[in-house]
Amino acid sequence: MAIETIAPGTVVSYSGNVLERRQRAAAEFLAWADRHAHDVLRQQAAHAQVEEHPDRLDQRSALAQQQVCARRRLHAKQLHDSAMALLRHG
């Protein structure tokens, strides 16, 4: 078994099996890609909120506002549900 030190105090161990390392790397990449796509959507939504002056909202930015609010409500609901599940099972 090989051991790699990334930062002081942080040790990551991995096997010599190439297939396992590639599978772990693929899983990490997919997690990163999912998080990156989420961050891009949040940035676009935030930009849509501030790009137009409030007195001149057109349908496109009004729709973007609605989408941002819907995403925020969904995220809050997911956090609430996750916390409740943790309390029930923890």
The CA-based dihedral angle spanning residues 70, 75, 40, 56, taken in that order and rounded to the nearest 10 degrees: 30
Extract the tokens encoding 73: 């409500």
Residues near 41 by beta carbon (within 8 Å), at least 6 away in sequence: 71
Kindly give, in sequence order, each residue whose CB lies less than 8 Å from that of residue 65, ignoring residues fewer than 6 positions away. Answer: 48, 49, 57
pLDDT digit string (tens) for 61-77?
Answer: 778 888 888 999 999 99
Q: Is the pTM of this model over 0.85?
A: no
Q: How much is the mean pLDDT over the chain? A: 78
Closest CA to 27 of 9, 14, 11: 14
- 45 vs 7, which has greater pLDDT? 45
Q: pLDDT tens, 49-62?
A: 766 555 555 666 77
